[in-house]
Amino acid sequence: MIKKCLFPAAGYGTRFLPATKAIPKEMLPIVNKPLIQYGVEEAIEAGMDTMAIITGRGKRAIEDHFDISYELENQIKGTPKEHLLDDIRILVENYTFTYTRQKKMKGLGHAVLVGETLIGNESFGVVLADDLCEGEKKGVLAQMVELYRKFRCSIVAVMEVPKESISKYGVVSAKEIEEGIYMVNDMVEKPPANKAPSNLAVIGRYILTPDIFRILEKTPPGTGGEIQLTDALRVQAKRNMVIAYKFKGKRFDCGSVEGFVEATNYFYKKFKHNTHNTKSKG
């Protein structure tokens, strides 16, 4: 039902300099897979088949990653390493990757608006690849699609965060309508701790209805002088058209060095477990 997923990926990744000087932050690997590939796999699991990626200058590695590399294929064909390309081959062969560039960094809201050309007039998912999520039983986006079926409005994934870190996030003011599901009535981007309306922080997974584009066009720069997606969602929230969902699973903030290392350790354990099982299966 929701077929397209938007990946805003034009940012500079300054928190990871110098690593991100010549490679996009979305291409930083957690174990053996770049961050954006985890996001793409999550979108596919949620039933989406078209990845709309907002890139910028210096981000060509993303396009190359989701394409065939004949030279590499040729080199490793028939060698024991060939299976290492299996997962990415499946993505490249079966799904569509579309791109447009955000020429000026004017904020997340602006990046989403730039994506209208790839999305058109339909509801769509949004993944911020540096929030790496692992859902319980099913992926976080898949959980959100299920909610969309029921509510047919924008959905934001939220988690409870301690007071001292609330100012790093978009925060919702909301009323719980079912366990873990909230009707949002207001939102604020990166409030100081003492002004935060709740401890429910938005993380980088959204389902947006296409009216968001017309709202974004009219949204003036907000926090940090940037056009904020939170401010556009706030307009929908005032119309009771935003649901916040306390997702079931884990989320790693891979935009910070600490979160990145935490994710690496977590996924390395799983990786080791899987390679051990594959080996013992011969």
Contact residues: ligand G1P, CB under 6 A: 108, 128, 131, 169-170, 189, 201-204, 228-230, 255
Q: How far is the CB of 211 from ligand G1P (least distance, A)?
A: 19
Task: CB nearer to ligand G1P: give 88 or 219.
Answer: 219
* Residue from 31, 40, 25, 268 nearest 133 by CA: 40
| C-beta separation of 54 from 111 below 8 A | yes
Place of tokens 């060939």: 82
57 Cβ partners below 8 Å, 6+ apart?
A: 101
Structure tokens belonging to residue 102: 């955000």
Task: CB nearer to ligand G1P: give 262 or 271.
Answer: 262
Q: How far is the CB of 1 from ligand G1P (least distance, A)?
A: 25
Beta strands in 20-92 (DSSP E): 29-30, 33-34, 50-55
Task: CB nearer to ligand G1P: give 2 or 108.
Answer: 108
Q: How far is the CB of 262 from ligand G1P (least distance, A)?
A: 15
Cβ-proximal residue to ligand G1P, closest one = 170
The count of residues in the chain is 282
Task: CB nearer to ligand G1P: give 104 or 279.
Answer: 104
Task: CB nearer to ligand G1P: give 78 or 224.
Answer: 224
Q: How far is the CB of 109 from ligand G1P (least distance, A)?
A: 8
SS3 134: strand
Number of neighbouring beta carbons within 10 Å of residue 104: 9
Q: How far is the CB of 158 from ligand G1P (least distance, A)?
A: 9
* Residue from 208, 212, 230 nearest 151 by CA: 208
